[in-house]
Amino acid sequence: MKDCIDTVFSGIQPSGGLHWGNYIGAVHHWVTLQSQYRCLFCIVDYHAITQAYEPKHFQAKILDMAADLLASGIDPNQSIFFIQSDVPEHTELCWILNSVTPFGDLSRMTQFKEKSQQHNASINAGLFGYPVLQAADIALYKANKIPVGQDQIQHVELVRRIVRIFNQRFGTLFPEPEPMLSQTPKILGLDGQAKMSKSMNNTIEFSANQDVVRKKIAAAATDPQRKRRNDTGNPEHCNIYTLHQFFSDKETIAWANHGCKTADIGCVDCKKALSTAALDHFSEIRMRKETWIAQPDNIKDILKTGAQKARVIAQETMNEVREKMGL
Ligand code: TRP
């Protein structure tokens, strides 16, 4: 039975397909929430345009992301699944929330600082106001549970502050959303250093084939203290072990943990077992993705229907917002 009081909202940018990091950290978690909550999942194209992108290829990227999400198990019969720019109320509410968002708070966002360092030729106001659009995404549906990866916690905290200021100034309308973390909210990249992310070029793509998965895992960093085969290791310091905890069954996890600590197994054995478990996890998903990719018109229909459902809720909220604000 769905508990209709709680509403879940989350979004993902269509900038390059899913990779293991955002699949494990967020999307797989979304799939599990669908049967318990009223859920909305959104492909946030307006967020994506704050960074360089190729207009000619943008629609294809959006469709590809939609296919990844559907293949992962986002179920349009259970959840509202749509594209942000199909619901213009997102930008309308964003403007309104801009007028209650403290400038100082925005300038303290770590992600803004990081992104503006990476792209210091093109720091635009959209990149700066990015979390305000995120606040609008959430507030439009009065969502109160926000499943995100670790990197988005600071943004959700700011969203709480923005809605609090709105509620105080104009009268209570929006719930203060809480972040929900998956069991594995942060996946490191193959370098074992930075967060796994497209821009760091340390990812494994969601639909990577067998050869790519095995090769990338074979080359991935492990516990840096375990230099030789006979050294014992600490699984807690190994990204391969973190991945085992997601992909492998209990026995394999225990085997990897004990084998690493005692040097009974080498990193090579441990990595082979991980690749096998991961390929097994993705085998059905990859087949589903191929089926979806072959029917782009069906994907478009699903997204349009999702946007229609989302818009009904968004328009109701906007009526309340206008009334409260004297607009
Ligand atoms: N900023 C999020 C990310 O990059 C995506 C996002 C946009 C989002 N709007 C949201 C996440 C609303 C949660 C809720 O991952």
Which residues lie below 8 Å from residue 238, measured CB to CB, with a gap of 6+?
192, 222, 223, 226, 260
Q: What are the residue ranges in the chain where pLDDT is below 70?
A: 1-4
Residue 17: inside a domain: yes
> What is the Cα–Cα distance from 46 to 33, expressed in whole angstroms?
25
Residue 92: inside a domain: yes
> What is the Cα–Cα distance from 168 to 165, expressed in whole angstroms?
5
Residue 191: inside a domain: no
233: CATH: 1.10.240.10
Which residues lie below 8 Å from residue 111, measured CB to CB, with a gap of 6+?
130, 151, 154, 155
109: CATH: 3.40.50.620
76 with 56, same domain? yes
146 with 165, same domain? yes
> What is the Cα–Cα distance from 179 to 146, expressed in whole angstroms?
5
Q: Is 198 in the active site?
A: yes
Residue pLDDT, tens place only, 127-186: 999 999 999 999 999 999 999 988 899 999 999 999 999 999 999 999 999 999 988 878
Joined together, the tokens standing for residue 54 give 């190729």
- HSE-CB at 314 with a 13 A cutoff on CA atoms is 24
Domain, as residue range, for 273: 210-288
> What is the Cα–Cα distance from 41 to 8, expressed in whole angstroms?
8
248 with 132, same domain? no
Total domains in the fold of the chain: 2
Q: Is the CB of 90 under 6 A from ligand 1?
A: no
168 with 78, same domain? yes
Specify the pTM.
0.94
Ligand 1: which of 40, 146, 155 to mutate, judged by most atoms within 8 Å of the beta carbon? 155
Residue 195: inside a domain: no
Hey, is 19 helix, strand or coil? strand
Give residue 134 CA to ligand 1 midpoint distance, Å.
6
Q: Is 56 in the active site?
A: no
Give residue 187 CA to ligand 1 midpoint distance, Å.
17
Contact 244, 252 (CB under 8 A): yes
Q: Is the CB of 7 under 6 A from ligand 1?
A: no
317 with 282, same domain? no
DSSP 251-285: HHHHHHHHHHHHTSS-HHHHHHHHHHHHHHHHHHH
> What is the Cα–Cα distance from 85 to 47, expressed in whole angstroms?
10
Residue 197: inside a domain: no
Give residue 12 CA to ligand 1 midpoint distance, Å.
6
pLDDT for the residue 90: 98
Q: Where are the alpha helices (DSSP H) in 73-182?
A: 89-98, 103-107, 110-118, 125-128, 130-139, 153-170
Joined together, the tokens standing for residue 277 give 């478990």
pLDDT for the residue 4: 59
pLDDT for the residue 146: 98
